[in-house]
Amino acid sequence: MKHDDPNRRLDELAVNTLRTLAMDAVQQANSGHPGTPMAMAPVAYSLWQKSLRFDPADPIWPNRDRFVLSMGHASTLLYSLLHVTGTRAVNPKYEVLGRESVSLDDLRRFRQLDSRCAGHPEYRWTSGVETTTGPLGQGLATSVGMAIAREWLAARYNQPNFDLFDYRVYALAGDGCMMEGVASEAASLAGHLKLANLCWIYDSNRITIEGDTSLAFSEDVAARFQGYGWNVLRVGDANDLELVERAFASAQRCTDRPTLIVVDSHIAWGSPNKQDTHGAHGEPLGEEEVRLTKRGYGWPEDAKFLVPDEVREHFANGIGKRGSDARAAWMNRFEVYRAAFPELADELMRIQRRQLPEGWDRELPSFPTDSKGVAGRDASAKALNAIAKCVPWFLGGAADLAPSTKTRLTVDGVGDFSATNRAGRNFHFGVREHAMHAVLNGLSLSKLRPFGAGFFIFSDYARPAIRLSALMELPVVHVFTHDSIGVGEDGPTHQPVEQLASLRAIPGLLTIRPGDANEVVEAWRLTMEQRHEPVALVLSRQAMPTLDRAQYAAASGLRRGAYVLADAPGGKPEVILMASGSEVALVVAAHEALVAAGVRSRVVSFPCWELFERQTLEYKQSVLPSDVRARVAVEQASPFGWERYVGLDGRALGMTSFGASAPLAHLQKKFGFTVDAVVAAAKLQLVAEPKQSVHA
């Protein structure tokens, strides 16, 4: 930074304000990462004050530029920016409140209970945070979804003289992000799609938690990104604001590729005796080092959380005025647009509020009784396209598996999203499961309704992004097919066993495994109604008999998570059989055999544990009465967790090993998923000595 340039005096003062706020917050908490916020403060300042189109008075207006802090450990940098710019808070109803998003008190309580300054940035908790970050690389991959969303929104809604969507997406990342595979997947996809509205800033400081990056990272990142098809720029000194500003201007002029700006920085401070770079990266500096560093900045050594009035005024006259003017012009333009294109304007209002069109479910199919039945993935394909026909912003694709997952949209005119067709609603993510699900999060953060599909076994590759869907309360649809050993000949590598239990363990995620075609339709109906909750929809490859709903309970029971599908004569069962997915038909057959043998059995279809747990105790008791302790659960997956519903003296027939490669019928016999096995387990329950009571 040019200390002797009078035109830069306010710039320097503002940068040092950001630095000292970060230092003070970390020191007060005695926890956090001060080094990166200090080193990258000039770059973040330049972007926000000179380039970013963001209105602090309305941080959610639709055409704002997005800033993603992918290296979430540098959170105090973002919190300091939100404070000095005077960013306002927004409530869950999308109403702008009078209070600050981040107050000085919040900064003083950094990393403390209920502070809006959590250890890593949290979406929905702190206004101005565009996405939850912390797991490195996730922010970068999510930003690709945001950039795709802008292109799609512009293709559908921009009209001559009405450029409603032309925002840009910026993401700040470090060496750790560049090492994570999800970032590489996402960068490859972004380059392929030529997302010129995307700019990543790479803080190349050559330091990670263990020390110098030479320990484990020696590649030429710039060359790698050139290979991805990116525009690569370099800034040799993070403190040189003129170079930084020129780099951002150059990125904005690039119209055919995403841009990576490689910024060389050093984690450094005022004290000549401080040598422990690891400490600066991942630990507070210490009171004495803070004072010495402030002295080096020419800052009052004992002042804490100091924000000079002229700095606030400087930001108000910069990003504040620029953002306010841009938002006001956009809102005026939208009112004229609304008069000229009322239907498109109505869609945009619904998108922003996560509302569906009127009659969105009118095309959903109903399946007739069929003993052979329909595969879950095939029933889903019909529902998927029925929804796509009525919800224009419903879009998605698969990780190179659309023909197998049956998730290609075939509605007239949907097309394929590509570098040359931004209006397409079918996405080709390639073999990039992790990046795909992170991109879905970015699309959802932009208020579109995305889905992404793959084989259930590969949910393991996607789980970190699915977890973030739940953490951020995003209504993303994660579609998984080939849900069990029903994959057959593909063998153990493709047969999911522990994946159901794994996803059920994620708070805030609805894991739904429908039992026949009509349950699949109900699952989609319920899924689309979610505004703040993601769904993992787990579907079969093999056909499942379509039940006669005149004989058995209506499929709408799925909405309660579990319901009595078939009951004993008189409604007082001796034994309860429970199942999800393709095993529902199996326990129905076992139930019929038991009833014929004079055993009063009940069948409970159990597609979603999370929904069942939300029901009243009265309802749960009506489905699983506590005085019926003979219970059998059947699922071609790990039995882990079923003890909640069968009790310690109940029986869960499941997979306690990996599968095998063979035709499905052979696997069912080998692993005990047969009518005879279920009947035998039920009868054994009736004669077994009970060990404990069962509570629904």
Domain stops at, among 545, 573, 602: 545
Number of domains forming the structure of the chain: 3
638 — pLDDT class (breaks 50, 70, 90): very high
% of the chain residues with pLDDT over 70:
95
pLDDT 10s digits, 179-213: 999 999 999 999 999 999 999 999 998 878 888 88
Residues 300 and 379 in one domain: no
For residues 512 and 601, membership in a common domain is answered with no
Q: CB neighbours (10 Å) of residue 232?
A: 18
Contacts of 324-333 spanning 24+ positions with Cβ under 8 A: 324/55, 324/57, 326/53, 326/55, 326/63, 327/55, 327/57, 327/58, 327/61, 327/63, 327/64, 330/61, 330/62, 330/63, 330/164, 331/61, 333/162, 333/164
- pLDDT higher than 50, residue 317: yes
Per-residue model confidence (pLDDT) at position 371: 97
- Can you give the length of the chain in residues? 696
pLDDT at 696 over 50: no
pLDDT digits (tens, 9 = 90+) for 263-293: 998 764 444 344 333 334 567 999 999 999 9
In this structure, the answer to whether residues 567 and 531 fall within a common structural domain is no
What is the Cα–Cα distance from 642 to 556, expressed in whole angstroms? 23
**% the chain with pLDDT above 90:** 90
pLDDT for 96: 74
Residue of 433, 519, 583, 610 marked catalytic: 433
User: Which domain, by its residues, includes 502?
Assistant: 370-545
Using CA atoms, how far apart are residues 631 and 685, in angstroms rounded to an integer? Answer: 7
- Are 460 and 567 within one domain? no
Please indicate, yes or no, whether residues 534 and 609 belong to a single structural domain of this protein.
no
**Does residue 552 lie in a domain region?**
no
CATH number at residue 662: 3.40.50.920
For the entire predicted model, the pTM comes to 0.95
| pLDDT > 60? residue 397 | yes
CATH code, domain carrying 38: 3.40.50.970
Q: Tell me what the mean pLDDT of segment 69-78 comes to.
A: 97
End position of a domain, from candidates 545, 579, 602: 545
Q: Which of 256-270, 418-432, 434-448, 628-642 has the lowest mean pLDDT?
A: 256-270
Q: Please give the Cα distance from 695 to 39 (Å, whole number).
A: 57
Residue 691 has pLDDT above 50, yes or no: no
- Is the confidence at residue 6, as pLDDT, over 70? no
Q: What is the pLDDT of residue 214?
A: 86
Burial of 94 (0-12, 13-18, 19+ CB in 10 A): exposed
pLDDT tops 80 at residue 93? no
pLDDT at 91: 86
Is 433 among the residues known to form the active site? yes
Model confidence at 4, pLDDT cuts 50, 70, 90, reads low
Residue 693 maps to a domain: no
Q: Is 696 contained in some domain?
A: no
Residues 535, 568: one domain?
Answer: no
389 in any annotated domain: yes
C-alpha distances (whole Å) from 622 to each of 300, 564, 612, 651 are 69, 9, 12, 20
